[in-house]
Structures are given as structure tokens and as C-alpha cells.
Amino acid sequence: MMLRHNVSLDSVISPNLEAQPIKELERILSVKGSQAKLVGANGEQITIPDSVYQVLHQAVHAMASGKVVSVVIQDRELTTQKAADFLKVSRPHLIKLLEQKEIPHIMVGTHRRVRFEDLVKYKRQRDSKRQEGLKQFTQFLEDEGFYDDETSELDQ
């Protein structure tokens, strides 16, 4: 896929015609221990850096699975509004998390900045806690008899 520099796409949906080449690309990128190279129109070759390779591999895998791919470009340090948007919370809630030291931040003058890596770490921990809580709640409901054999028979 070739994009002009002045074109900005939020998401990419691969057409059905590209399904087979994308599957082949996924197979090639999945080979362990190989170094992927990019070959320009003039034959010039360059080894793809590992960080770029990881992004490419994830995007191709998602496209091969029929998913829509979006690339979100983030600064290393985000404003509180951008950080709140990333976490899908309100800015006041994010400020509360920062003040409670749930998420580290730095001060740039009078403005707070949050490192992207810290946001990702917090989000993973939050999601893990939510998943564990959901498992415990489901187990509680099963133990209390809220799920019975009739319900599971209907699902089959």
C-alpha cells in the first residue's frame, strides 16, 4: 500500500482483492529469526528496524484477520487532556489520578505532562484489575446459583 505524504488516513480497511497478498505477507513476517528488508523502486535495500517491524507485523496480522487498522501517533509526553482522551476518562478524573499518584507525571512550568509509557502501564493494570474483578463477580454469581443448568442449555 502506498500513501502520499499529504494524505492522512485514520483507519485502513483492506479490500477483499488484497486478502491473499496480505495473508502471504503475514506468513513471511511470522518467520522467526529473519530480517525483513524494504526494497525501493530503484532496487535500494534497507533492513527494517525492529520497532518498525513490530508495528508492521501487528498491522498485517490484524488486516489478515479482517480487522480495521488504525495508527495513533502519540507524543512521548501528553497533555492532561490528551492523556484523559487516551484513557477515555474525563480530564478532572485524570487530574485526580495524578494527584493520588496513581499515574506518574511531570511538571512543565505550571502544566502537567504524562509520559505515554506510564499511561499504557496504568491502562494495562486497570484492565487487568477489571478482568479479575469480573471473574470474581462471575464466580460469586455461579456460587450463589444465579447460573443454572437451564441457562447453559439455552446457550448451546
What is the residue extent of each domain of the chain? Answer: 11-70, 77-143
C-alpha cell, 20: 491473499
The pLDDT score that the predictor gives to residue 82 is 92
Centre a 10 Å sphere on the Cβ of residue 66 and count the other Cβ atoms it contains.
11
For residue 29, which of 73, 70, 59, 67 has the smallest C-alpha distance? 59
Tens of pLDDT, residue by residue over 56-72, are 888 888 888 888 888 77
More confident residue, 16 or 27: 27
Alpha-carbon dihedral of residues 22, 27, 28, 29, nearest 10 degrees?
A: 80
Tens of pLDDT, residue by residue over 91-147, are 999 999 999 999 999 999 999 999 999 999 999 999 999 999 999 998 898 888 887
Considering 1-10, 31-40, 91-100, the range whose residues carry the highest mean pLDDT is 91-100
Report the share of the chain in percent with pLDDT over 90.
40
Alpha carbon distance 44, 37 (integer Å):
10
* Torsional sign, CA 5, 66, 116, 81: positive
Alpha carbon distance 93, 79 (integer Å):
14
**Residue 9 — very low, low, confident or very high, per pLDDT cuts 50/70/90?**
very low
CATH code at 77-143: 1.10.1660
